Amino acid sequence: MESYYLLYLAGVPFLGILAQWLAWYLRIPAILLLLVLGLSLGTFIHPDMQLAELIGQKGNPEIGITLMTPLISLAVAVILFEGGLTLKFSELQDVGNVVFRLCSVGVVVCWGLTACLANLLLGFDFSMAALLGAILVVTGPTVISPLLRFIQPARKLGSIVKWEGIVVDPVGALLAVLIFQVIAQPAGSTGFELVSILFHTAFISVFYSWLAGAILVYCVKRYWVPDYLQGVVFLTVALAIFALSDMWQKEAGLATVTLFGIYLANQKDVSLKHVLVFKEHLVVLFISCLFIVLGSRLNVLDLWKMDSGELLRVGGSGILFLLLMIFLVRPISVIVATIGTPLTIKERLFVSFLAPRGIVAAAVASVFALEISHLAHDHEGMSDIADQAAQLVPITFLVIIGTVAFYGLASGLIARKLGVALPNPQGLLIAGSDDWVRSFAKLLDNEGLPILLIDTNHRHVSEAKMAGLQAHCASILSEYVHEELDLAGIGKMVLLTSNDEVNSLALQEGRHLFGTENVYQITPWDSATGRRESVADRLKGRLLFKQGYNYYHFKELFAKGYRFKRTQITEEFSYEAFQKQYEEEVILCFVIEENQKLLLNTVERQIEPKAGQVVITMVPREIDSPEQKEELQNSPSSSSEIS
């Protein structure tokens, strides 16, 4: 039995990361594959039963649930903490009012409508219907973050959905706690007790998050925590304050770790970029494992049992309940919450059709189903509530599966149809706007590709704007570029400044934003000097265009009259035929495929243009007379001038 359980513990993360890789390779939302794997695994292995059998309690799954729930809660705490670390107050300048209303008015409307549907369709009494409504108002970073990574909407919309998904989790959990208090003490609950719970939760969350954040920032600022320990120190502190908060007030830990992350994200004393990267890697692993574990806890066949009174209403009525949650409850909640806000109709529609439920809803449903089951054993006359509580988990999972499947498949298509996201962003974020850079950038812009130029030279930026290009005067290393600029449609970073060290520094942030495969730079000027070169290989991106050609080569060639040219390659006019038109070598820079996919020619992988593609090349100036040809031949070589 121990060997089987060990295999299960090793197999879950393996399957989770395999699903993540397949999703990346197939360009589909990862949560879809994770759910499929989890549900498939659940037909063979039930983790609660396996855990109960391991500790000698075979046939008693409640023991397994009791042991599994704290582990799930800790993993959820880490996920919410990482989500809080990504929330910057600067993002709220334009969308703060929208986020606040979605997390207040939107939550109330969603809760009320969901409770009514649970009462009418599922036969829940009002208290249990209200509890289910509170559980299902949450969305969460476990499902929102992977979808945003897949959809890549405009920055404003991404900020709205991200803030809502993270903030609404503790709000929904707290709402569920208040309703549970009413269920647990139907005769003794008073308004004062409910207000007391709210006050205690708010006080505990704010106090622990501020105290832990202030102490940690002070310690890091004083260099009392070495770099290699900072990631794990922040992680363990987050887990500790989560547990302490939950000990004092149930479900207060979710709010505490969220506020803890927000506090750290917005303080200015120390940089926590490396901590955030560590947490992101950990969260990918946790999300992958949690979806599979929680999915395997549910046998999908149970959703269709029609011979059991316990799950009788989860079948047909459950499907109708799910459809109304997607097509009625969420749109109405968003429309009501965003009345009077500057969101356009298309933006409201996009937000209306992006509300998948995730790990937090499943975890909270499992906790309260277990708590109500224990209450029913201790109090007579609660058998009806216990029967309904037994349906909380399957109904919640039905909503999770349905919303993840629908939004995972449809949200990207909806976003593209509404024009708020591109299916596969091919635009370029270019650092540098020298004259030769502006020349090819204009050609790419004419092809309909989003181009954004960043430079610290005011004159270059002004000339780029006069040429009709989008340009900003800023350093590529500034927070303004990476946190405030709208990068919708931008899928690659190209580093073309004259400073190779700046290019390499910007490369590190670019890898985080776009991925290593989508970050390019011009060849450093001393790339042929071996181990003494100014930029080590590990600090370089994908080198552009041609072996040995650096910034100064291109600048010199442009000064001599070389120009960038757009050419359509056809069956009759091949790329080889195009090259023969020029006596000197043609430098291939970009290839645009028929589906508007942009390919960048690199030193490591030279492109061979084919018919149907458009090429952007750097070609010699046209030679009209023998005198011009002689002048060009007698001009000093670019390499000697550069050296």
- Residue 307's CB is within 10 A of a number of other CB atoms, namely 6
| Alpha helix stretches (DSSP H) within 103-140 | 105-121, 126-135
Distance separating alpha carbons of residues 492 and 606, to the nearest angstrom? 18
User: Which residue matches tokens 């069956």?
Assistant: 571
536-567 b/e with 16+ CB inside 10 Å = b? Answer: eeebbbbbbbbeebbbbbbbbbbeeebbbbbb
Q: What is the pLDDT of residue 327?
A: 92
Distance separating alpha carbons of residues 22 and 16, to the nearest angstrom? 10
Across the beta sheet with 587-592, the strand order is 563-568, 614-619, 587-592, 598-600
Q: What is the pLDDT of residue 341?
A: 84
Encode pLDDT of 4-63 as tens digits: 677 777 888 888 888 888 877 777 767 778 877 877 777 777 666 666 666 666 655 566
**Amino acid in position 426:** Q
* Backbone φ, ψ for residue 26 (5° rounding): -90, -5
Encode pLDDT of 423-467 as tens digits: 667 788 888 888 888 888 888 888 888 888 888 888 888 888 888
Distance separating alpha carbons of residues 341 and 396, to the nearest angstrom? 31
Residue 275 DSSP code:
H
Asked if 303 contacts 35 with a C-beta cutoff of 8 angstroms, the reply is: no
Helix or strand (DSSP H, E) at 566: strand 563-568
Q: What is the pLDDT of residue 190?
A: 59
Q: What is the pLDDT of residue 210?
A: 92
Asked if 289 contacts 12 with a C-beta cutoff of 8 angstroms, the reply is: yes
- Residue 329's CB is within 10 A of a number of other CB atoms, namely 23
Q: What is the pLDDT of residue 628?
A: 45
User: Which residue matches tokens 């023969």?
Assistant: 580
Q: Which of 515, 513, 422, 404 is nearest to 19 (CA)?
A: 404
Cβ neighbours of residue 588 closer than 8 Å, sequence gap 6 or more: 545, 601, 606, 607, 609, 615, 617
Residues (pLDDT < 70) of the chain are 1-4, 29, 46-68, 140-142, 184-194, 251, 297-315, 374-386, 422-424, 479, 481-484, 486, 526-539, 583-584, 621-643
Q: What is the pLDDT of residue 623?
A: 46
Which domains does the chain carry?
Answer: 63-271+303-418 (1.20.1530), 427-642 (3.40.50.720)
- Environment class of 305 (CB within 10 Å of its CB; exposed 0-12, middle 13-18, buried 19+): middle
Asked if 303 contacts 398 with a C-beta cutoff of 8 angstroms, the reply is: yes
Across the beta sheet with 451-455, the strand order is 470-473, 451-455, 427-431, 490-495, 519-521, 542-543
Distance separating alpha carbons of residues 401 and 378, to the nearest angstrom? 33
Encode pLDDT of 316-369 as tens digits: 777 888 889 899 999 999 999 988 888 888 888 888 888 888 777 877 777 777
Q: What is the pLDDT of residue 306?
A: 39
